[in-house]
């Protein structure tokens, strides 16, 4: 993750949550009172959020001490200690919810991605994400996909050309859309085209598409359509593919399967933050 952007977004999240003050904490605890908290796994899965813990608490108080006991992408077990943070009690309490929210969500995405990769069980086809992310959390969610063993599709509208059905409808044809991009884009920009029919595949190939995405096609349909694609063109399957059906796509021959559910239908991993009473043993 981009550390400058990480700090900026965390600052924004803290401002949203704390506002002018944490009225509860500030009324109970003196400013110079120290304490320690521990992050505990309440479920099995894949951990993600190392930098969130390290950077988040340091933003609130540079004197905070953080010790993350697992690495991003590592499996975790129920009851396992994940991180220990010590410092001013007021700062610990002000930061725990924002940090925990992100770590739970990112670990949930990493866990789901890991499951998808192992369900597909392919040495050729890669699992990747989509732009179906939570507004404001795309950097975090896409990083979590990588920690789970997946790959990233484009990050936004700015870093990759993807000609979809509505672009084609407005442009009048796949050829017209691709030609318009070729005239204006630099040589470093790849062009992906979404297709559904045999005619569209042929048109995309002849237009010079770099990537062809089979949209909402069954595994059998993809096996037929992919025969029309030269080896030099990258292929992708997307649209309505559920984790229970992933194995059906294993032998389709596509290079990538993009899954929107990785970042829009995940379950946050159950992680809690508790006061660490066993400081000497932790």
Decide if pLDDT at 280 tops 60. Answer: no
Average pLDDT of every residue of the chain = 96
**Is pLDDT of 282 > 80?**
no
Domains located in the chain, CATH noted? 3-116+267-275 (3.90.1170.20), 120-264 (3.20.20.70)
The catalytic position among 42, 164, 267, 279 is 164
Contact at 8 Å (CB) between 125 and 255? yes
At 76-85, the pLDDT tens digits run 999 999 999 9
Point out the catalytic residue in the list 26, 54, 74, 97.
97
Identify the band that residue 281 occupies on the pLDDT scale cut at 50, 70 and 90: very low
Reported as a single tens digit per residue, the pLDDT across 20-78 is: 999 999 999 988 899 999 999 999 999 999 999 999 999 999 999 999 999 999 999 99
Query: Does the active-site annotation cover 279?
Result: no
Q: What is the pLDDT of residues 94-147, one digit of tens each?
A: 999 999 999 999 999 999 999 999 999 999 999 999 999 999 999 999 999 999
Instruction: Supply the pLDDT for residue 30.
Output: 85
Strand partners, 66: 85
What pLDDT is stored for residue 279 in this prediction? 62
pLDDT recorded at residue 197:
97
Residue 87, C-beta contacts closer than 8 angstroms, at least 6 positions apart: 34, 35, 57, 61, 63, 64, 65
User: Residue 54 catalytic?
Assistant: no
Residue pointed to by tokens 């304490």: 35
The active-site residue out of 22, 50, 194, 203 is 194
Q: In angstroms, what CA-CA distances link 70 with 76, 177, 281?
A: 8, 47, 17
DSSP 123: S
Q: Which residue has the tokens 């550390």?
A: 3
Share of the chain above pLDDT 70, in %: 99
Q: What does the pLDDT look like over 171-227, one tens digit per residue?
A: 999 999 999 999 999 889 999 999 999 999 999 999 999 999 999 999 999 999 999
Which one-letter DSSP state was computed for residue 125?
A: P
Active site residue 97: yes
The whole-number average pLDDT for the span 236-245 is 96
Q: Among the options 7, 126, 132, 154, which is catalytic?
A: 132
List the beta strands (DSSP E) in the chain: 34-41, 45-46, 65-68, 75-76, 81-88, 126-128, 161-163, 191-195, 211-215, 234-238, 256-258, 271-275
Q: Which residue has the tokens 């795309």?
A: 138
């Amino acid at each position: 993750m981009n550390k400058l952007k990480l700090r900026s977004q965390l600052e924004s999240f803290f401002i949203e949550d704390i506002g002018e003050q944490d009225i509860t904490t500030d009324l109970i605890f003196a400013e110079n009172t120290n304490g320690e908290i521990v992050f505990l796994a309440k479920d099995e899965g894949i951990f993600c959020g190392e930098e969130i813990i390290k950077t988040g608490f340091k933003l609130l108080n540079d004197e905070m001490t953080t010790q993350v006991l697992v690495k991003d992408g590592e499996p975790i077990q129920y009851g396992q200690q994940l991180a220990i943070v010590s410092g001013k009690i007021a700062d610990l309490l002000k930061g725990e919810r924002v940090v925990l929210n992100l770590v739970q969500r990112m670990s949930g995405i990493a866990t789901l991605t890991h499951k998808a990769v192992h369900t597909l069980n392919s040495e050729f086809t890669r699992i990747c994400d989509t732009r179906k992310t939570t507004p404001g959390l795309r950097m975090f969610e896409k990083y979590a996909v990588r920690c789970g063993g997946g790959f990233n599709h484009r990050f936004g509208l700015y870093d990759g050309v993807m000609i979809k059905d509505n672009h084609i409808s407005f442009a009048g044809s796949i050829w017209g859309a691709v030609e318009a991009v070729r005239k204006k884009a630099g040589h470093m920009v790849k062009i992906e085209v979404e297709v559904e029919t045999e005619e569209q595949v042929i048109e995309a190939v002849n237009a010079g598409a770099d990537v062809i995405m089979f949209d909402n096609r069954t595994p059998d349909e993809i096996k037929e359509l992919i025969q029309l694609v030269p080896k030099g063109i990258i292929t992708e399957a997307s649209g309505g593919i559920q984790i229970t059906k992933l194995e059906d796509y294993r032998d389709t021959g596509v290079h990538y399967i993009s899954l929107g559910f990785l970042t829009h239908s995940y379950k946050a991993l159950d992680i809690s933050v508790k006061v660490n009473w066993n400081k000497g043993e932790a």
